[in-house]
Structure 1
Amino acid sequence: MLLRQIEGFLAVARLGNLSRAAEELFLTQPTLTARLKALEQELGEELFVRTGRGMRLTDAGRVFLPYAERAVASLREGRERIEALREAQSGRLTVAASPGVSTYALPQLLESFVEAHPGVEVSVRTGHSEEVLEMVLREEVQLGLGRAMRHPDIQSLPLYEDELVLVVSPGHPFAERGEVTLEEVGREHLILFDRTSSYYDLTRAMFRTAGVSAPRVMELDNIEAAKRMVERGLGVSLLPRSSVARMLENGRLALVRIEDAEPPRRPIVVFLRKDVPVVGAVAAFLEVARSASPLPERAELPPALAAEFENLQLVDFFT
């Protein structure tokens, strides 16, 4: 039993006239007649009686009518639901993000996304970038946000570039000077956060590469605690720019330039499985991510990563 046969049956039942029904369906009369006969053969009953006034339903036709109407209505609703998913008017978006991204960048993205697509349910999980990548690979989430990593089954879209910046309390001597050398930083009490994060390794590597003796350190397990310690004047710290933007704006922290060293930079990307179509809520989220203005500075990728990402423009996901 085919949908077009049922639609033909309903049109004739409603109009009571074969030629008008054929015209409404943009069919020839012989084509519509053939569909009705095929439906009657499958049901084993005649559904219409020809009269001088047109087509009239038989008893079998009247019994079948409400079921045919419900079937077409259900199929139409199914089509509408699929269209809603395609247009991100409904459905679910599952995201995983590294702690820094989920705290400082993702809320701004989701604010824009939810405003544009209020019918979509959103679920967020957090973990270090390696864990985020694994969640995407296992299809526990639809997309992930974290530092750039390579995997043969993953495609990545550059989101923004975060850098580690030196921050001090407003009353620290560095704050008045505005810029210092890395050697001077090495003589300070340095506050580090989250030994398991790549930021920790980037900070350590910065001093090793410059040949500067390792400074005295205070180790904390999260960025927020590190910010508070710096604010209290307990030391200086290299923190992601995205994490200190508000405190710099309101004067609770001061930004100091390191004149003889480039600040470590880390590209933040969106992870997606290569074999999963990018449609519906995922496509809508990527569109928001592409156009979002409150995010930290867009990534200018180092040469080693630029080649990997040069063909991964967002437009490619929609073609």
Structure 2
Amino acid sequence: MLYRQLECFLAVARTGNLSRAAEEMYLTQPTLTARLKALEEELGDQLFVRTSRGMRLTEAGREFLPYAERVVSSFEEGKRRLEELRGASGGKLVVGASPGVGTYALPGLLERFVGAYPKVNVSVRTGHSEDILEMVLREEVHLGLTREMRHPEVESVPLYEDELVLVVAPEHRFTQRGSAGLAEIGEEQLILFDNDSSYYEQTQALFTSAGIRELRTLEVDNIEAAKRMVEHRLGIAFLPRSAIVRAVSAGNLVLIRVEDGPEMTRSIVALRRRDAPASGPVRAFLELAYGMAERKEERTKLSPALAAEFENLQLIDLFT
């Protein structure tokens, strides 16, 4: 109510006339007069004197005027800022990403996002999937991009399915046939990366389930290092498809089909707190990210509100 009183005070100070100020404020004159009286009672000073020429500011009114102008101006600026935030024409977006997502998927997505919403300030934090989940829960990030993880306080927006595929150097013996069986693959030196990741666990489980216990391995701590080891003919590797698209296209790596192995995939999702209001930047980012979803039935994992919001979005390929 105080804000409305200040608006009335400024309107009368500007026009010097009660009836014109009331018309400008779309109020009746008695309502305007009542608001001015309430403001004067709140301040304990008379702000206007009535003259034959209209309303004139008292000394107290002249002293109070710049403060009232600043309050109203700050309020209007705050309203504009919130409108920007709702419409993604400003504000901030903090994204957490696991290493693979942050290196291979996020740059393409951010290129589209920043191009569409250049006034949003973006900050990116990285960590393993468990770390990203904790960042989301502690509200240190607005969204966490990582493998699918379940928590009662978190909602998942499906992004894409990332497949583990076998790659070798162009000169490798597997390239002539373009495929290999697990027994043959088990005879090769295997490059493994990041022993804390689910990719590492999937690769180990693949050979264990096939009864292959003894493997010659070379372990590194990240995907890029694994790619370089394969390129230098130090072994072969199962790597995320999202990480090797450009290397295969450039002829630095060759994709080999596994003849008797199951498809190895993991879902990459955007995590957000269920109770966190989605600002304009968050909604805009999710709209772009949701376009990456490869299976329409995954939309049933969303809350009804988010599912309806993203129903008509199309697939985005961020890896080409």
Aligned to 1:309: 301
CA offsets, 1:25-55, max 9 Å, x none?
1111111111111112222332222233322
Alignment partner, residue 102 of structure 1: 102
**Cα deviation digits, residues 157-186 of structure 1 (max 9, x gap):** 111110001111111121121222222222
State which drifts further: 98-107 or 271-280. Answer: 271-280
Question: Aligned in 2, Cα 1:136/1:317: closer, same or farther, shift over 3 Å?
Answer: farther
C-alpha offsets along residues 247-280 of structure 1, whole Å, 9 cap, x if unaligned?
A: 0111111111112223210001111111211113
**Please, which runs of 5 or more residues in structure 1 have no aligned partner?**
293-297
Return the alpha-carbon distance in structure 2 between the equivalents of residues 310 and 63 of structure 1: 56
When residues 204 and 106 of structure 1 are mapped into structure 2, their CA distance, relative to the original with a 3 A threshold, is: same
Q: Output the CA distance in 2 between the equivalents of 1:59 and 1:313.
A: 55
The 8 Å contact of residues 159 and 291 in structure 2, kept in 1 or not, is answered as no
Aligned counterpart, 1:127: 127
2:132 pairs with 1:140: no
The farther-off stretch of 12-21 and 109-118 is: 109-118
Counterpart CA distance in 1 for 2:119 and 2:268 is 28
SS at match of 1:207: helix
2:76 maps to: 76
| Structure 2: distance between partners of 1:307 and 1:134 | 24
Q: Percent identity?
A: 61
Q: How does 1:157-168 map to 2 (within 5 A)?
A: 157-168=157-168
- The alpha carbon displacement at 1:315 in A equals 4.3
Q: Partner of 1:215 in structure 2?
A: 215
8 Å CA contact 2:300–2:307 kept in 1: the answer is no
2:284 is matched with 284
**Corresponding residue of 2:198:** 198
Task: Note if 1:186 corresponds to 2:178.
Answer: no
* Aligned residue number for residue 251 of structure 1: 251
**How many equivalent pairs are there?**
310
Q: Verify: 1:93 aligned to 2:85, yes or no.
A: no
Counterpart for residue 11 of structure 2? 11
Per the alignment, residue 22 of structure 1 pairs with 22
CA distance in 2, matches of 1:307, 1:160: 12
| Aligned mates of 2:304, 2:168 — CA distance in 1 | 38
CA contact (8 A) 1:164 1:239 kept: yes
2:264 is aligned with 1:272: no
CA contact (8 A) 1:97 1:144 kept: yes
Counterpart-to-counterpart distance in 2, 1:60 and 1:307: 62
Q: Is the 8 A contact 2:299 2:307 kept in 1?
A: no
Q: Deviations over 1:81-111 (max 9, x none)?
A: 2222333333332222111111111111222
In 1, the alpha carbon distance for the partners of 2:225 and 2:130 equals 23
Could you tell me how far apart the structure 1 residues matched to 2:149 and 2:97 are? 14
CA distance in 1, matches of 2:304, 2:222: 32
Distance of 1:273 and 1:80 partners within structure 2: 26
Query: Which amino acid is 2:203 matched to?
Result: T
Distance 2:307 2:21 in 1: 43
Kindly indicate whether the alpha-carbon contact (under 8 Å) linking 1:136 and 1:142 is maintained by their aligned counterparts in 2: yes
> What is the alpha-carbon distance in structure 1 between the residues aligned to residue 65 and residue 124 of structure 2?
47
SS of the equivalent of 1:122 reads strand
Q: Deviations over 1:223-265 (max 9, x none)?
A: 1111111112222111000110110111111111112223210
Displacement after TM superposition at 1:312 (Å): 6.5
Distance (Å, rounded) in 2 between the aligned partners of 1:255 and 1:313: 40
Q: Residue type of the partner of 2:301?
A: F
**Matched position secondary structure for 1:27:** coil
How many Å separate the matches in 2 of 1:163 and 1:230?
A: 18
Q: Does 1:55 align with 2:47?
A: no
What's the offset of the Cα at 1:73? 1.1
The answer on whether the counterparts of 1:163 and 1:264 sit within 8 Å (CA) in structure 2 is yes
The answer on 1:36 being equivalent to 2:36 is yes
CA shift digits 1:67-88 (9 cap, x unpaired):
2112211211222222223333
Counterpart amino acid of 1:65?
L
Partner AA of 1:254 in structure 2: V
Q: One-letter code of the match for 1:87? A: G
The AA in structure 1 aligned to 2:234 is: L
Whole-angstrom CA distance in 1 between matches of 2:305 and 2:40: 54
Letter in 1 for 2:105: A
- TM-score, normalising length: structure 1: 0.89
| Secondary structure of 1:177 counterpart | coil
Conserved? CA contact 2:158–2:299, under 8 Å: no
